[in-house]
Homo-oligomer: A and B are copies of this chain.
Amino acid sequence: MNEKIHIFDSSLRDGAQGSGISYSLEDKIKITKQLDHLGIDYIEAGNPGSNLKDREYFDVINKYPFKNATLVAFGSTRRKDTDVVKDKNVQDLLSANTKAISIFGKSWDFHVKNVIMTTLEENIKMIYDTIKYLKSQGREVIYDAEHFFDGFKSNSTYALETLKAAESAGADCLVLCDTNGGTLSDDVYDITKQLLLNLTCDLGIHCHNDIGVGVASSLMAVKAGARHVQGTFLGIGERTGNANLSTIIPNLQIKMGYKCIEDKMMSELTPSARYIAEVSNITLDHSMPYVGVNAFAHKGGMHIDGIIKEKSSFEHIDPVKVGNDRKFLMSEVSGKNMVINMINKIDSSITKNSTETKEIVEILKSLENQGYQFEGAEASFELVIRKHLGLYKPFFSLEYYKIIEEEAGRKDGCTASAMIKVMVNGKSEITAAEGNGPVNAIDKAIRKALGLFYGKLKDFHLSDYKVRVLDGTNTAAKVRVLIESTNGEDYWTTVGVSTNIIEASVNALVDSIEYKLTKDIETREK
């Protein structure tokens, strides 16, 4: 059996320090459940001492029947020159009622003197007292040795002494933290190796990505003998982020033969990453290893050709293993291969050398020159092809729209109103709607009009809306709008381009509705 590595996720604590991250109570609960479902061993979810919202979270989540994870509250060693029993922070930590507690302490002599401003001896006592006391209260204790690598380089004897104090106080795991993230991977390896000769307690690793090696250093620590890895699931965190667990887990499990989570859960890595990104309200980096939208996307013509001949040509693993997909990107370089791939989904009789293929390639090139981009907007891409092949049933046409923005000014409660005319099978319908902003007003008006002809339009809604200025020199620049829609099960993305943001949005919106109606018919016909 493969050796177990304990995975410790700190998205909700260290990750919450990341720029732009702000979790509500509900967000934290959703993410906790997802991490537990995936099989993460430890979920560090907050600092009950410093944050009221965190206390509320612990009260709620303690009632949740965890399947896998141990919940962890995070805090600091007792303050200097204080009795640990009277330390408010330590008491708050206990009051969170978690099975495990992680506490951080200082390893770097320089910091002891200049940041917390105490003696080297008192710092050792702070570590020892706190762990001893928490253990006497029956908790599992994970000791985070802050700035460990910097400390070890500055004064290895003292840094080791702090760990020995933690060990003798009964800590369950000693975690070496590269708090500033500036340590090279081979130094992490060498130092971890050296420590294992001097300690019997389990070692853990906690890396940041300041020099771009957070993942590699975590792996090197495991290679040296660490058996507990801390990070955040998407690599979010202060500055350049924490070590990315969605990369580390498949590396340890697929590439290095350790066991982190159940094998059958590996294919949930990508959906989990996308779900957590959604809840965190961040755009998942498309180029993120294993789980990113482009992690298995091929653009070079030669690469696509290679992939078609042999999957292993340009893929280090089968994307299915981690729940991701292979993708071919449209571009001048990739040539026709990916176009024919999409065409064949619609009509399998068309070949690479068919006239239709050449024509569609020309249409796509011309649209790309106008600023369209079909990477990530596959629904619009499919419509372009269907329309050219005559395999698109027109459901409606938007004859015109007129919008009036009412003195929105700087006051609240502003509205926009839209008047639209659609044609469906020769019948026209003119209607109007008010909305919060022009796109919303048009969306409502179109749905209202089409509702007379088609039923199911209420079943989907926008899940994302992105605007990209194509040449950012002034407000008259061309913009590209990407609209992602969902009916709760499927997601589809459409694109619109115009110098007018409203027009670009409407074009993407119309595509989204057309695509949905097309798919509904297909499903009914099956």
Supposing A19-B286, A239-B296 touch, asked if A403 and B404 sit within 8 A by C-beta, the answer is yes
Q: Once the chains are docked, how many angstroms separate the CA of A386 from the CA of B209?
A: 36
Cβ-based interface call for A191 (8 A): no
Contact (Cβ within 8 A) A398 B409: yes
Partner of A20, one of B181, B247, B375: B375
Cβ-based interface call for A213 (8 A): yes
Chain B residues in 8 Å Cβ range of A286: 19
Cβ-based interface call for A63 (8 A): no
Contact (Cβ within 8 A) A19 B299: yes
Q: Once the chains are docked, how many angstroms separate the CA of A290 from the CA of B212?
A: 9
The contact sample of 25 A-B pairs, CB cut-off 8 A, is A17-B299, A17-B300, A18-B287, A19-B286, A19-B375, A20-B375, A110-B310, A184-B255, A186-B220, A210-B295, A212-B216, A212-B251, A238-B299, A398-B409, A398-B410, A400-B409, A403-B403, A408-B500, A410-B510, A414-B498, A416-B502, A438-B438, A440-B474, A472-B484, A475-B509
Q: Once the chains are docked, how many angstroms separate the CA of A437 from the CA of B182?
A: 47
Query: Which of the 9-residue segments A90-98, A134-142, A342-350, A458-466 touches chain B?
Result: A458-466
Supposing A300-B238, A329-B19, A402-B407 touch, asked if A185 and B184 sit within 8 A by C-beta, the answer is no
Query: Which of the 9-residue segments A1-9, A167-175, A311-319, A513-521 touches chain B?
Result: A311-319
What's the least CB distance linking A282 to chain B, in Å? 10
Chain B residues in 8 Å Cβ range of A210: 289, 295, 316
Cβ-based interface call for A271 (8 A): no
Interface residues of A in 379-407 (CB under 8 A from B): 398-407
Q: Once the chains are docked, how many angstroms separate the CA of A498 from the CA of B438?
A: 12
Cβ-based interface call for A427 (8 A): no
Chain B residues in 8 Å Cβ range of A472: 462-465, 484
> For the complex formed by this chain, how many copies does it contain in all?
2
Q: Once the chains are docked, how many angstroms separate the CA of A150 from the CA of B368?
A: 36
Contact (Cβ within 8 A) A238 B297: yes
Contact (Cβ within 8 A) A405 B414: no
Question: Can you list the 8 inter-chain pairs with the closest CB atoms, starting with the nearest?
Answer: A182-B316, A216-B216, A437-B500, A436-B499, A440-B475, A403-B405, A212-B247, A212-B215
Supposing A297-B19, A300-B238, A309-B114 touch, asked if A500 and B436 sit within 8 A by C-beta, the answer is yes
Q: Once the chains are docked, how many angstroms separate the CA of A182 from the CA of B254?
A: 11
Interface residues of A in 144-182 (CB under 8 A from B): 150, 179-182
Convert A13-47 into 0s and 1s, putting 1 for each residue whose CB lies closer than 8 angstroms to a CB of B. Answer: 00011111010000000000000000000000000
Supposing A292-B240, A435-B476 touch, asked if A409 and B405 sit within 8 A by C-beta, the answer is no
The chain B residue with its CB closest to the CB of A502 is B405
Contact (Cβ within 8 A) A373 B20: yes
Q: Once the chains are docked, how many angstroms separate the CA of A91 from the CA of B373?
A: 34
Chain B residues in 8 Å Cβ range of A444: 475
Cβ-based interface call for A303 (8 A): yes
What's the least CB distance linking A260 to chain B, in Å? 14
Q: Once the chains are docked, how many angstroms separate the CA of A149 from the CA of B286?
A: 26
Cβ-based interface call for A477 (8 A): yes
Q: Once the chains are docked, how many angstroms separate the CA of A22 from the CA of B289?
A: 22
What's the least CB distance linking A291 to chain B, in Å? 10
Convert A311-347 into 0s and 1s, putting 1 for each residue whose CB lies closer than 8 angstroms to a CB of B. Answer: 0111111000000000001011100000000000000
Cβ-based interface call for A223 (8 A): yes
Convert A272-293 into 0s and 1s, putting 1 for each residue whose CB lies closer than 8 angstroms to a CB of B. Answer: 0000000001000111111010
Interface residues of A in 430-445 (CB under 8 A from B): 435-440, 443-444
Counting chain B CB atoms within 10 Å of each CB, the highest count among A239, A251, A331 belongs to: A239
Q: Once the chains are docked, how many angstroms separate the CA of A220 from the CA of B472?
A: 40
What's the least CB distance linking A99 to chain B, in Å? 25
Convert A251-265 into 0s and 1s, putting 1 for each residue whose CB lies closer than 8 angstroms to a CB of B. Answer: 100011000000000
Q: Once the chains are docked, how many angstroms separate the CA of A294 from the CA of B210?
A: 10
